Structure 1
Amino acid sequence: MSLGGIPLQLNTLSSALTKTASYRRTICRVEAQDYLLRSIRGERHPLQHRACALTEEMHSLTEQMIGNLHWAEFEALIDLIFLRNGWRRTSLLGRNMPDVDLVLEQPLTGETAWVQVKSQAGQAELDSYIDRFLTDGSCNRFIFACADPRGALTLPRQSELNLNIWTGKVLASQIVESGLFKWLSERMV
């Protein structure tokens, strides 16, 4: 445990430090002393501070860029997020389906998802799509991705439902974590 109360676990520590665990004698010299002391104190390396600041800036910039996409590119972006994360599309992208833009399956878990993608939407439109999803019952998960929500979008308070809203920070995080920042930045007009 660090002095700040953060657990120090093998899987979160650098192998530069954890390699000493295999040392079989009583006393050993720790080569990564600075790293060890920073970890115990709960401090970060100066480069980690810079990396975190750049990551936050990238997320903020991504959030701003989302609203500049044409609706068709926004649909393609959402499709790419799922593809990059192991989902398989089992439907065409938005064509001739009045209730849903994407139907997906996750091959490893067998989970299925309904995805509705909107450039702009308000609460009434979200509620309408949730009703359709619940009535249909063919998928386990519902995701409503909206580039520019009209007001705050909220989900019903039914915890057993697997309903998700992707806007703002959540959407930006999905884009960055899926490696699509460059794809997004290349589409700025």
Structure 2
Amino acid sequence: MTAVTAANVFYIKLGRGGDWETESIRDGVLRFGYREVPHDLCVAGDWPGVWDAMKDRRGDAGAATRDVKQIRAFYESDEDTIFITFVGGLLYWCRPVGEIEILPDNSHRRATLDGWHSTSVGGSLLTADRLSGRLLKVQMFRGTICDVRAADYLLRRLSDELSPEVAAAEEAERALTAAIIPLMRLLTWQDFELLVDLVFSSSGWRRLSQVGRTQKTIDLELVLPSTAERAFVQVKSQATRAALDDYVGRLAEAEAYDRMFFVWHTGNIPENEGPDGVILLGPQRLARMVLDAGLSSWLREKVS
């Protein structure tokens, strides 16, 4: 997969209050205000002349300097430049191409290489909640266009590349997840039931009752207070397809429940082949849930 590169990366606000966001994303264009800009001087690259014109209009040298920096970014950028913006909780990015078009209201428009994108090159959606605050803080810029200081981070995200620090952390997580599985298999059936109960409690489920107590089979009845969903959990140390089929049949006859969780730490049942209404939590998925719930230390203490 080709890495995303750029000589420059800019953030742009698409209109006052986002007035041009919908049009820009839909039509794959860049919109820019600055209606008072001397277009001919900009096209000619006469930036001292542009500065003089903006100084006359602004009456402030500092403001003129800031204006010219933004204007140059819009006029001089080519397809080796990336512009980003944020719309509806997503990061969008594009590359500008072609000449500047002056619209009837004296605002500016540019075409883009292949439109705006809200995904990485690998197809991962660029939701703001999954992006670093170092990048998100660019939205606080009060002007129209500014440099993106977290450009290296952005290019890695667009390329689906991990920083060395994140890659090392992910490798450590994979190793710990793999180590959790044999530890779960050292638990007594009572402690394995308790572990499952703690995992569900950490994700918001509330235990209503325990409706079975046999050594290899423990049933739990749960409710999710936020939605009032009810579920029963079948916990087995060792699972077989026959046992799964048996409890799937029980779910079909139990109108009181919205779904069933079938949980085990030993067995060869594929974890991604659950029937409708049945969620399979085998050793791989359960180990990840144990890690996410912060229960790895609890587990080590139980079997040490």
TM-score (norm 2): 0.54
Match for residue 76 of structure 1 among 194, 199, 202: 194
Amino acid of the residue matched to residue 161 of structure 2? E
**SS of aligned partner of 2:126:** coil
Offset, 1:107: 0.4
**SS of aligned partner of 1:75:** helix
Indicate if the aligned counterparts of 1:4 and 1:41 stay in contact, CA closer than 8 A.
yes
Tell whether 2:298 aligns with 1:180. Answer: no
Match for residue 253 of structure 2 among 131, 135, 138: 135
Match for residue 242 of structure 2 among 124, 135, 154: 124
Note closer, same or farther for the CA distance 1:122–1:4 as it changes in structure 2 (3 Å cut): closer
Match for residue 23 of structure 1 among 141, 149, 153: 141
Offset, 1:93: 6.6
User: 2 CA distance for matches of 1:155 and 1:142?
Assistant: 14
Indicate if the aligned counterparts of 1:126 and 1:153 stay in contact, CA closer than 8 A.
no
Identical amino acids, percent of aligned pairs: 35
Aligned position for 1:61: 179
Aligned alpha-carbon RMSD (Å): 2.6
Note closer, same or farther for the CA distance 1:93–1:57 as it changes in structure 2 (3 Å cut): farther
User: 2 CA distance for matches of 1:148 and 1:91?
Assistant: 25
Gaps of 5+ in 2: 1-118
Gaps of 5+ in 1: none
Runs of 4+ that moved beyond 6 A: 154-157
Offset, 1:133: 2.5
Aligned position for 2:10: none
Match for residue 103 of structure 1 among 213, 221, 239: 221
Indicate if the aligned counterparts of 2:193 and 2:218 stay in contact, CA closer than 8 A.
no
Aligned position for 1:113: 231
Aligned position for 1:167: 282
User: 2 CA distance for matches of 1:47 and 1:157?
Assistant: 36
Offset, 1:154: 7.7
Deviates most, 31-40 or 10-19: 31-40
Aligned position for 2:266: 148
Larger relative contact order (Cα-Cα within 8 Å, sequence gap ≥ 6): 1
Give the length in aligned residue pairs: 184
Indicate if the aligned counterparts of 1:88 and 1:106 stay in contact, CA closer than 8 A.
yes
Indicate if the aligned counterparts of 1:3 and 1:40 stay in contact, CA closer than 8 A.
yes
Match for residue 43 of structure 1 among 155, 158, 161: 161
Greater fraction strand? 2
**SS of aligned partner of 1:142:** strand
**SS of aligned partner of 1:105:** strand
Indicate if the aligned counterparts of 1:91 and 1:104 stay in contact, CA closer than 8 A.
yes
**SS of aligned partner of 2:302:** coil
Offset, 1:135: 1.9
Larger radius of gyration: 2
User: 1 CA distance for matches of 2:238 and 2:201?
Assistant: 23
Offset, 1:157: 7.5
User: 1 CA distance for matches of 2:189 and 2:139?
Assistant: 54
User: 2 CA distance for matches of 1:154 and 1:13?
Assistant: 30
